[in-house]
Amino acid sequence: MIKSISTFCLGLGVVAVTSWGQIVQAIPLQLVPSVKLKHIGLDSKLGNNEVNSERRTVYQWGTNPNCPAAQPKTTTKAGWNESQRQALQQAIDHSLYYLSTPKAVESYRKYASPEFNLERTKRSLVRFKELLLTTDSPVALEEAVKEEFVFYQSEGKDKRGRVEFTGYFEPTYTASRVRTAEYRYPLYRKPANFNRWSSPHPTRAQLEGKDGLAAHKSILRGQELVWLSDRLEAFLVQVQGSARLKMTDGTTMSVGYGGTTNYPYVSIGGELVKDGVFDKDELSLPKLLDYFAANPKHLDKYIPRNNRFVFFRETDGKPPTGNLGVPVTGDRSIATDKSLMPPGALALIVAPIPDVEPTGEVKTRVVSRYVLDQDTGSAIKGAGRVDIFLGSGEVAGERAGKLNGNGNLFYLLLKE
């Protein structure tokens, strides 16, 4: 997985020491006064109809009444969009499962926030699920949540609440089980002797060649899982960490993350910006695809700059899984820096999210959305980065490619 609103200083630059002596980074979350929540919290995606009214959004720990594309605030009680309510319930259940595991116990034992302990996080999810299933509308849910929960806002990348949001997805591509003249670019299994590789690991160019076609000379020879016809598609599967593949023999295959070499992730989009090909604000996945379609030889220049090489395994049709070991849910799962943020917790994001209009057009609006923190990524570092999982397939890819903007991140806990 991979990418890319403040006048209240948090003052959280301290280091916490746990009771067993481990030094950990201070949690970059600040309790938000309820008055500042007036214009957020209505998750309109949960409703069954669009509403039009005064538009506002959180900005600089307050509100910006002039924001032209912000979350609609309304008192009209639209009914539920049942498919979205079920998706959110499913994501909650996945987090509750994770929170019942020894892995969660260990993670929260090391977590540096007394407020975000395992039991309170779990109780918060149980109560939110009850409200989701018993309130009669998204508006009623918003009102109940603001009555029963407290909100903690991320300090963001500027320590004033600004968070950069990007999107990721599970792509769908065509692939072959055997190498052919057309299908030449492999995805690889993790080698059985991988844990005995010396460090640093071989570079990407050493593993697959500068042009991605050196499989016959590579130490990965024999580990090919499938072959794709397009080098950039094969690379993007590594970026996203999973894929659904339509095989040339008429079958389907799903693949998921199986391991990675020990290099930091380098964004080829970021490298294009660094080289002056694009300005950061104009870069998107569609523009990146168009650029390499017009300049295919440049793939040999930019792809090798990312030495982080990802291996795959067959997942037997199961949905993509986040780093917590549970499935991620489209529009309801986020990836954050798990050294800072509470794993599996309930959150509310206010972000510019592209969505499909009734006309079929994908349009970006600033919206509030309830999500679960269920994943991480090599490019997701710090309190000011969130990656939103947007689902599988072409439309999800189009939406993810257009999601790149600033917003706010809140975590919700049941009042005590």
Q: Which residue ranges make up each domain of the chain?
A: 15-168+322-414, 181-314
pLDDT of the chain, 416 residues: tens digit per residue: 433 333 222 323 333 333 333 334 567 999 998 888 887 889 999 998 644 333 334 444 443 333 334 444 444 456 999 999 999 999 999 999 999 999 999 999 988 788 999 999 999 999 999 999 999 999 999 999 999 999 999 999 999 999 999 999 999 999 999 999 999 999 999 999 999 999 999 999 999 999 999 877 899 999 999 999 999 999 999 999 999 999 999 999 999 999 999 999 999 999 999 999 999 888 888 899 999 999 999 999 999 999 999 999 999 999 999 999 999 999 999 999 999 999 999 999 999 999 999 898 999 999 999 999 999 988 899 999 999 999 999 999 999 999 999 999 999 999 98
Buried b (16+ CB within 10 A) or exposed e, 183-198: bbbbbbbbeeeeeeee
Can you tell me the distance from the alpha carbon of 372 to that of 392, in angstroms, rounded to the nearest whole number? 18
* The listed CATH number (2.40.240.50, 3.90.1150.10, 3.10.180.10, 1.10.10.10) that belongs to domain 181-314: 2.40.240.50
Residue pair 33/409 in contact by the 8 Å Cβ criterion: no
pLDDT value of residue 54: 37
What is the pTM (predicted TM-score) of this model?
0.81
Phi/psi for 58 (5° steps) reads -70, 140
- Domain 15-168+322-414 falls in which CATH fold? Barwin-like endoglucanases (2.40.40)
116 secondary structure, DSSP code: S
Longest Cα separation, the chain: 65
Terminal Cα distance for the chain, rounded: 36
Alpha-carbon dihedral 318, 324, 329, 334, rounded to 10 degrees: -150
